[in-house]
Amino acid sequence: MLTNKTRPYLIHFHCILVKTKLSLRVGVSSRSSKYFSKNNLIPSIPIREFRLLKKNNFVTKIVIKLDGNSIYEKVLETDQFGHLKFQINLQNYTEQQLINSEVSVYEVSTFKGIELSLGKTTPALINNQKPVIITDFDKTLVDTKYKTTVEVYHSLTSPLNAFPTVEKTLDKIMPEVQQGTPLFVVSASPHFYEAPIRNWLKSKKINDSGIFLKDYRQFLSFQNTELFSKDMKVHGTFKLSQLLNLIYMLEAPSKVILYGDNSETDPLIYCIFYYLLAEHFDVRNTWEKIKNLEAFQLTPFQDSKLLNKLHMIQALKRKTNHIFKIEIYIRQIDGPKDIDLPDWLQKYQSKIVFY
């Protein structure tokens, strides 16, 4: 029955446990069953993932089991792009119990009465008293090129290991990774680079804890989405939003190590991020300052989203009561460049380590 149909599959499935709070991040798409026999030894290239441009809405069932017994079940619908973000606080269980649990995802709407198993995992325990690494990908870990039509085509049709690896960044990251520090990727690269990026990281013996990329399908949507056509070139809204979402998911880790480059807006975004975690700020006043920056160009819909996120971060800071430690490392591409920071962020320029 399944051979003549497209069937759903997982693009990504992250299950993060902080104390007793479980955060799930699920991405589902669909493809013809013939693609499931693809030789996994073939290097993954972005153009093969163009099928992710298809819009899909799915109904998933989340099941959490402990010692073989179900302790939690919930049916949840993804958004129009197959994405699902969900948090649950399992306060009736201990952290030690939950790290031995099994979390499964099923799809229940493709075939009536049939639950299709998409995957299962055990939670990844994150200690919010210890550091996490957040890095950009393009030009920070791998020197890919997108400036000309030829370079774009080359980037889409070549495995990422065809591009120069930035050894200086890897040399800095690897000691932390080898000690078990979780690594997250937040990049403005298109969403169909996710599988190639993950394969590249694995080739370097790095297991990511989550990859957050810009979903280009949102630019083609007629509905209100988090990204609009101007965000194809303006990265501030996307990057800051993803950083704040991630920090909320991780219950505000006390130390965050950021890696980026000076080819886009990483220094500005990271300094804003530093300010939001380190300072006691007025939400409305800070909201006004950010929305007027050229790197954002917020739409009215994005305005309200940003305001909500600033309130969310303020509440999280009060709850955790951390003294945050943040380190910013910026790779200098084509030599030093002037970092254009507004007056209220000038003091954070000295916090940036260039290499």
| Positive or negative: CA dihedral 58, 23, 187, 166 | negative
How confident is the model at residue 123, as a pLDDT? 95
Identity at 59, one-letter amino acid code: V
Full-model pTM: 0.86
> By C-alpha distance, which of 109, 160, 171 is closest to 331?
171
> C-alpha angle 48/50/52, rounded to 5°?
115
State the alpha helices, DSSP H only, in the chain: 95-98, 149-157, 167-178, 194-203, 236-249, 266-278, 283-291, 300-320
Distances (CA, A) of 23 to 37, 79, 103, 144, 300: 31, 17, 11, 32, 29
- Same CATH topology for 2-125 and 131-354? no
Torsion sign (Cα): 270, 274, 276, 282: negative
pLDDT score, position 226 = 62
Q: Domain map of the chain by residue range?
A: 2-125, 131-354
Q: How far apart are CA 75 and CA 87, in angstroms?
A: 13
How does pLDDT run along the chain (355 residues), one tens digit per residue?
Answer: 454 467 898 988 999 999 999 999 999 988 775 555 555 555 677 766 655 545 578 999 999 999 999 999 999 999 888 889 999 999 999 999 999 999 999 999 988 899 999 999 999 999 999 999 999 998 999 988 766 667 767 777 888 888 899 999 999 999 999 999 999 999 988 888 888 999 999 999 999 999 998 877 655 555 556 644 454 555 678 889 999 999 999 999 999 999 999 887 899 999 999 999 999 899 999 999 998 888 887 777 777 888 998 999 999 998 888 888 999 999 998 777 778 899 999 999 999 999 9
CATH of domain 2-125: 2.60.40.1930
CA torsion, ordered 278, 284, 286, 291, to nearest 10 deg? 140
pLDDT above 70: percentage of residues in the chain: 85
DSSP 227: -
Total count of residues recorded for the chain: 355
Range 131-354 has CATH code 1.10.1760: no
C-alpha 341/C-alpha 345 separation (Å) is 6
- At residue 229, the pLDDT reads 47
Q: Which tokens hold the place of 53?
A: 């441009």
- Which segments of 211-351 does DSSP mark as H helices, in order? 236-249, 266-278, 283-291, 300-320
C-beta neighbour count of 202 within 10 angstroms: 11
